[in-house]
Amino acid sequence: MDDEPRGGLLDQSGMEITNLPERGFLRKLADWASAKSMWILYYCTGCGAVELPPVMTSRYDMERYGMGPMATPRQADLLLITGYLSVKTLKRVVRSYEQMQDPKYVLGHGSCTIDGGMYWDSYATVKDVGLYVPVDLYLAGCMPRPEAILQAVERLQGMIMDGTADGWMRYKRDYKFYRENQDKVFKRGPDWALEEPVLK
């Protein structure tokens, strides 16, 4: 596992990120704790949700990794997007993502999040979630089996401990890029909160 190339090292333009901030001992310890206690916010659209109950329950037992479902974005660390997003639901995903507390991670689960999957030619679905929210790790498959989900979790844990799961930093740094893409898809009403904290 350890010799494999890991994702998250490239920024949106395909450039390798070399200016990762130095991490002190305490920050490394906090990252270790983040990796060992990832609380999940499910964004269960479509068929993706079907593969998660086996992961949670006794057969595969996700809690071994310290993971568990959380009720609200405020409490969660990992946004799990399981399946395709329509133009309408993307707004909710972005909103949930912005309500989460840093550091936060996104796992794109299933082929739909990568290129639209079987909905590749639909006018109403989002083809690449990574254009709108920073995805740390994609998990291909239609749908991925529980074993694949657990492998992705282990990979993400490794990335968090390395400090390479830096999607939340990219979202702040490249906010203009994400914001432009989001604005192409949906309109923001006057009630759209959290505009300022993200820009800060």
Nearer to other proteins among residue 64 and residue 184 (C-beta): 64
CA distance 125 to 112: 9
Backbone angles phi, psi at 34, to 5 degrees: -60, -40
Report how far Cα 187 is from the mean position of its chain's Cα atoms.
Answer: 22
Q: How far is the CB of 75 from other proteins (least distance, A)?
A: 5
Minimum distance, C-beta of residue 174 to other proteins, in the bound complex (Å) = 18
Q: Which is nearer to other proteins, 27 or 180 (CB)?
A: 27
Residue 1, SS3 per DSSP: coil
> CA-to-CA distance for 127 and 120, rounded, in angstroms?
7
∠ CA 65-95-146, rounded to 5°: 30
- Burial code (b: 16+ CB inside 10 Å, e: under 16) for 11-28 equals eeeeeeeeeeeeeeeeee
Query: 87 vs 194, which CB is nearer to other proteins?
Result: 194
The residue whose two tokens read 């350890």 is 2
Contacts to other proteins by CB under 8 A: 26-27, 29-31, 33-34, 36-37, 57-58, 61, 63-66, 69-75, 77, 99-103, 197
Q: From the CB of 145, what's the least distance to other proteins, in Å?
A: 19
* Alpha-carbon span 92 to 79, nearest angstrom: 12
Looking at the Cβ atoms of 43 and 138, the one nearer to other proteins is 43
d(CA 61, CA 167): 27
* Residue 19 beta carbon to other proteins: minimum distance, rounded to whole angstroms: 18
Nearest distance from C-beta of residue 37 to other proteins, angstroms: 5
25 vs 123, beta carbon nearer other proteins? 25
Choice between 142 and 198, CB closer to other proteins: 198
Residue 151: CB minimum distance to other proteins, A:
17
Helix (H) or strand (E) holding 137: strand 137-139
